[in-house]
Amino acid sequence: RKSAGWRNPSFSWPSFEAPTLRILSQNRLSGTVPDTLATISSLTDIRLAYNNLSGPIPAQLFQVARYNFSGNNLTCGANFAHPCASSSPYQGSSRGSKIGVVLGTVGGVIGLLIIGALFIICNGRRKGHLREVFVDVSGEDDRRIAFGQLKRFAWRELQLATDNFSEKNVLGQGGFGKVYKGALPDGTKIAVKRLTDYESPGGEAAFLREVELISVAVHRNLLRLIGFCTTQTERLLVYPFMQNLSVAYRLREFKPGEPILDWNARKRVAIGTARGLEYLHEHCNPKIIHRDVKAANVLLDEGFEPVVGDFGLAKLVDVQKTSVTTQVRGTMGHIAPEYLSTGKSSERTDVFGYGIMLLEVVTGQRAIDFSRLEEEDDVLLLDHVKKLQREGNLDAIVDRNLNNSFDRQEVEMMMQIALLCTQGSPEDRPSMSEVVRMLEGEGLAERWEEWQQVEVTRREDYERMQQRFDWGEDSIYNQDAIELSAGR
């Protein structure tokens, strides 16, 4: 039966025989609500929302358990006695609503389980934070290495941080690979050392050595290791990025307009580097020998404070074991003579390298410079400085970039300490703790007086040896040309 009050050309009203549910929402119905609907005694749910109906609603329909007349122009709502929709919820009889309830319940339970698992994991990590042990996955490295508080980075994380290890982010290149500038998602700037030959004994040993060294060496003048990354084909070390790069850069490679190291900054480099090496030698057990101390391996933070970096060539030496090595590591011009000739390194090897670094800081020059051959025979910076020191030509020693803005007495003090540190015999060199005290003004005068006496004697012996081997006037290398007779 179809009421005359309902008009929709595409809609055919079904039979009203004993229905309990009528859902006719959004059917473009117009006209008035037929009274015949109110005569259905078994009706429990009627929905006529969002049609074009108008006029009064039979009062009996408001007695139905669930109804909805919203979206029409009917006598219900805020200005009428009855609301347009009942307050009782609709039956969840549809399959979709039942599935939604089930999925919601299951999802809630799973969410609670995940939250609980994360809480347990985080709590366990917090307890083991002071000494966490990382184990490489199968096929990478089966050794267990204790890494303290270092973070283990994912390869993808460092790949994104360095823009896929772009060449434009290369900060430098060392003996075991390149160093890249990068940035973590939180904005932290980092330097990533990518070891390209870790599969060789030297490369892999360098990685393990550097990680272990940093885990036991923590000092304000030592470069702090943030973390590491290992894969089947890669070994990477992650450091904080040093805003002002290295001392060598600030001495010789800075760009126009960039600040140079003034004398006060150079003094901080001298004392800070000395304290860092003193810590490695005398406060670490077993002691740590750097073996490549130079201006390029002393970095500068945002406040131009020095930190000793690049432990790739360092050696962890047990005090009860020999320090003889089968392979000399270091940079020419910075290597102590006994280390170069015998392969035997010790903390006095680092003292020699520190002395050469002091000469770099004062003069601004490289440890080896072949351009000096144009004017003299001294290629090594040490020989060049000794010659100028004997001549008393201090002004020719000091870096011209300082523009005479330096303390003459402090320059003399630093030169004296450098020459004490670079004596040929390792037993004659001071320890790094003695160097720190001399930089602070204690004990230098006595050591310098002893050095001068030894140096005078050594110089006299050297000159006598030269005279002994000088050729006389009859030497075949010193004869005048002799006119030969005519051919026969």
* Among 48-52, 159-163, 285-289, 468-472, the range of highest mean pLDDT: 159-163
d(CA 412, CA 362): 10
Residues annotated in the binding site for ATP, as ranges?
193
- Do residues 273 and 229 lie in contact, with contact meaning Cβ atoms separated by under 8 Å? no
Using the predicted structure, report yes or no on whether residue 84 has a pLDDT greater than 80. yes
Question: What is the band of 205 on the pLDDT scale with cuts at 50, 70, 90?
Answer: low
The type of residue at 222 is: L
Catalytic residue status for 292: yes
According to DSSP, the residues that pair with 316 across neighbouring strands are 288
In this prediction, residue 210 carries a pLDDT of 67
Give all strands (DSSP E) within 321-447, no chain letters: none
In this prediction, residue 126 carries a pLDDT of 52
In this prediction, residue 257 carries a pLDDT of 85
Question: What is the band of 456 on the pLDDT scale with cuts at 50, 70, 90?
Answer: confident
d(CA 275, CA 223): 13
d(CA 47, CA 37): 12
* pLDDT tens, residue by residue, 400-414: 999 988 999 999 999
Which of 313, 106, 110 has its CA nearest to residue 206?
313
Residues 338-367: what's their mean pLDDT?
Answer: 90
Query: Mean pLDDT over all residues of the chain?
Result: 77
Using the predicted structure, report yes or no on whether residue 6 has a pLDDT greater than 50. yes
**What are the phi and psi torsion angles at 333 (to 5°)?**
95, -20
d(CA 385, CA 343): 26
* pLDDT tens, residue by residue, 365-396: 898 888 776 666 678 888 888 888 888 888 88
Which of 324, 331, 318 has its CA nearest to residue 345?
324
In this prediction, residue 318 carries a pLDDT of 41
Using the predicted structure, report yes or no on whether residue 87 has a pLDDT greater than 80. no
Using the predicted structure, report yes or no on whether residue 483 has a pLDDT greater than 50. no
Using the predicted structure, report yes or no on whether residue 3 has a pLDDT greater than 60. no
In this prediction, residue 354 carries a pLDDT of 96
The type of residue at 474 is: D
In this prediction, residue 358 carries a pLDDT of 96
- Do residues 41 and 53 lie in contact, with contact meaning Cβ atoms separated by under 8 Å? no
* pLDDT tens, residue by residue, 303-340: 899 999 876 555 544 444 445 554 566 777 888 888 88
d(CA 397, CA 360): 10
| Residue of 45, 141, 292, 399 with catalytic role | 292
- Do residues 432 and 278 lie in contact, with contact meaning Cβ atoms separated by under 8 Å? yes
Q: What letter would DSSP give residue 247?
A: H
Using the predicted structure, report yes or no on whether residue 103 has a pLDDT greater than 60. yes
Question: What is the band of 176 on the pLDDT scale with cuts at 50, 70, 90?
Answer: low
d(CA 223, CA 220): 8
d(CA 22, CA 37): 10
Question: Where in the chain are the domains?
Answer: 6-74, 96-127, 131-240, 247-469
Residues 355-366: what's their mean pLDDT?
Answer: 93
Question: What is the band of 416 on the pLDDT scale with cuts at 50, 70, 90?
Answer: very high
d(CA 410, CA 345): 30
Q: Is 96 helix (H, G, I), strand (E, B) or coil?
A: helix
Residues annotated in the binding site, as ranges?
193
* Among 100-104, 134-138, 215-219, the range of highest mean pLDDT: 215-219
Q: What angle do CA 446, 452, 454 make, to 5 degrees?
A: 105
Q: Looking at domain 131-240, what is its CATH homologous superfamily?
A: Phosphorylase Kinase; domain 1 (3.30.200.20)
d(CA 416, CA 345): 24
Alpha-carbon 155 to chain mean position: 13
Alpha-carbon 62 to chain mean position: 72
Question: What is the band of 169 on the pLDDT scale with cuts at 50, 70, 90?
Answer: very high
In this prediction, residue 435 carries a pLDDT of 96
**What are the phi and psi torsion angles at 63 (to 5°)?**
-90, -10
* pLDDT tens, residue by residue, 121-147: 766 555 444 333 333 333 344 344 445
Q: Is 48 helix (H, G, I), strand (E, B) or coil?
A: coil
Q: Return the H-helix or E-strand segment holding 99.
A: helix 95-127
Alpha-carbon 32 to chain mean position: 76
Using the predicted structure, report yes or no on whether residue 66 has a pLDDT greater than 90. no
CATH domain 247-469 topology: Transferase(Phosphotransferase); domain 1 (1.10.510)
In this prediction, residue 73 carries a pLDDT of 86
Mode of pairing for the β-strands spanning 287-289 and 315-317? antiparallel
The type of residue at 305 is: E
Q: Is 167 helix (H, G, I), strand (E, B) or coil?
A: helix
Residues 171-198: what's their mean pLDDT?
Answer: 83
* pLDDT tens, residue by residue, 28-41: 788 888 888 778 87
d(CA 293, CA 356): 9
d(CA 303, CA 181): 19
According to DSSP, the residues that pair with 145 across neighbouring strands are 134
Using the predicted structure, report yes or no on whether residue 157 has a pLDDT greater than 90. yes
Residues 265-274: what's their mean pLDDT?
Answer: 96
